């Protein structure tokens, strides 16, 4: 015979599942939350964070909670939009006790001299990189966003917005091809949010999980978010004609449940896209270089002047664009500098490498002088 308490517990779990399923709640999250149930805490998803407080969507509705209880001094462990949390059912103030282990996390380096990481969003399945066709394509910036996305564990998607501003089909096809070559293994979609072109494909993609919108100010992220939600939930401002850049329409990261299923996190425009320990992400962006590197004569080939370098050979025969190699070198160097500032072991290895190269340079100079 089933007890009344068991029936009540099952009914409560069912109501939580029904209320939170549109925000991504599933059996795995329920299992992660189980240890906190006996304490009377509520599961919920963070839909917005600002000034040490956050809005949490729970089965009881939208709650306002303080985040100070969760390690505030570590920028990578603060509560962020997209987190699933255990929140107190009452209290003044009400506190978030903890967040559940993250499945994915978007992290970029801050502009501070301390080279700390800044977490942008958590538990994301798809990273939508919005790129405006109203201005000249910046392929290097797209590569940066892709490295950030791949490193997070999410699947990147490049969405070329404002396609209505490129009426010539041949020109549009060339632009798409340029981006596809820059983003191997990544879907590239063209969308006109104002006219609705291409939105059906994007809606089908984002309906299967949580997506985050990334891109510069003026890329059309807020317009795209409104089109996906089906109503004007985000303010939209016109981009400057001179450079296509916009002001920060979105000032916080907002999580929105989509009417066709799925969840969308809109983010402020990112002027700086600094990498933070993103070696594997960079490797995935430049997968063709990684494959070529396996054919180099030396396993530690730097692809600069070494004999038997398959990467340099590919540049010479035209099968690898020199711009791609330069961009790869730039992101690898940047990432090494960031890691060296935060990892003593890597820093020591880099110093040894610098000393070795310096010694080789001095030896070469002495050899030339002695000839």
pLDDT digits (tens, 9 = 90+) for 11-57: 677 888 899 999 999 999 999 999 999 999 999 999 999 888 999 99
CB burial string 312-330: b at 16+ within 10 A, e below? bebbeeeebeeebbebbee
Q: Is 189 helix (H, G, I), strand (E, B) or coil?
A: strand
pTM of the model: 0.80
pLDDT for 6 beyond 50: no
Which element (helix H / strand E) includes 120?
A: strand 117-122
pLDDT at 146: 94
The predicted-structure confidence for 313-351, as pLDDT tens digits, reads as follows: 999 999 999 999 999 999 988 888 777 766 656 556 655
pLDDT for 200 beyond 70: yes
Confidence of residue 362 (pLDDT cuts 50, 70, 90): low
Say how far apart CA 315 and CA 317 lie, in whole Å.
Answer: 6
- Give the CA diameter of the chain: 97
Say how far apart CA 189 and CA 310 lie, in whole Å.
Answer: 32
For residues 132 and 148, the answer to whether their CB atoms sit within 8 Å is: no
State the virtual CA torsion across 241, 246, 276, 158 in degrees, nearest 10. -70
pLDDT at 250: 44
Number of residues in the chain = 371
pLDDT at 345: 60
Q: Could you tell me the CA-to-CA distances from 134 to 123, 165, 183 in Å, in that order?
A: 31, 6, 20
pLDDT for 359 beyond 90: no
Give the angle 268-269-271 at the CA atoms, nearest 5°.
130
Say how far apart CA 18 and CA 61 lie, in whole Å.
Answer: 12
Sign for the pseudo-dihedral over CA of 338, 341, 345, 351: positive
Say how far apart CA 115 and CA 110 lie, in whole Å.
Answer: 6
Say how far apart CA 8 and CA 237 lie, in whole Å.
Answer: 49
Mean pLDDT of 224-232: 83
What's phi and psi for 205, nearest 5 deg?
-70, -50
More confident residue, 264 or 92: 264
The predicted-structure confidence for 273-319, as pLDDT tens digits, reads as follows: 677 777 888 999 999 999 999 999 998 898 988 899 999 999 999 99
């Amino acid at each position: 015979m089933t007890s009344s308490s068991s029936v009540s517990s099952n009914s409560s779990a069912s109501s939580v599942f029904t209320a939170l399923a549109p925000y991504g709640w599933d059996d795995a999250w329920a299992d992660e939350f189980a240890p906190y149930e006996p304490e009377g805490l509520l599961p919920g998803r963070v839909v917005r964070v600002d000034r040490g407080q956050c809005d949490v969507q729970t089965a009881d509705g939208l709650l306002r909670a303080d985040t100070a209880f969760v390690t505030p001094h570590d920028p990578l462990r603060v509560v962020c939009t997209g987190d699933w949390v255990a929140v107190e059912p009452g209290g003044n103030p009400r506190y978030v006790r903890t967040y559940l282990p993250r499945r994915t996390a978007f992290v970029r380096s801050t502009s501070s001299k301390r080279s700390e990481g800044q977490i942008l969003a958590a538990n994301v399945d798809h990273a939508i990189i919005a790129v405006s066709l109203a201005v000249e394509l910046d392929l290097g910036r797209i590569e940066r966003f892709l490295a950030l996305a791949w490193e997070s564990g999410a699947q990147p998607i490049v969405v070329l917005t404002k396609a209505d501003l490129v009426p010539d089909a041949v020109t549009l096809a060339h632009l798409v091809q340029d981006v596809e070559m820059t983003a191997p293994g990544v879907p590239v979609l063209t969308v006109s949010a104002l006219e609705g072109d291409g939105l059906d494909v994007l809606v089908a993609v984002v309906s299967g999980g949580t997506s985050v919108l990334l891109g510069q100010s003026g890329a059309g992220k807020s317009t795209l978010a409104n089109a996906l939600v089906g109503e004007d939930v985000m303010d939209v401002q016109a981009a400057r004609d001179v450079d296509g850049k916009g002001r920060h329409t979105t000032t916080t990261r907002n999580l929105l449940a989509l009417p066709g299923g799925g969840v969308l996190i809109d983010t402020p425009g990112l002027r700086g896209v600094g990498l933070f320990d993103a070696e594997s992400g960079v490797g995935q962006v430049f997968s063709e270089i990684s494959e070529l590197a396996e054919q180099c004569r030396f396993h530690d080939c730097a692809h600069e002047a070494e004999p038997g370098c398959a990467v340099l050979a590919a540049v010479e025969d035209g099968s690898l664009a020199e711009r791609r190699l330069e961009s790869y070198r730039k992101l690898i160097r940047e990432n090494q500098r960031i890691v060296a500032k935060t990892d003593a072991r890597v820093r020591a290895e880099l110093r040894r490498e610098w000393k070795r190269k310096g010694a080789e340079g001095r030896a070469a100079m002495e050899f030339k002088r002695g000839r």
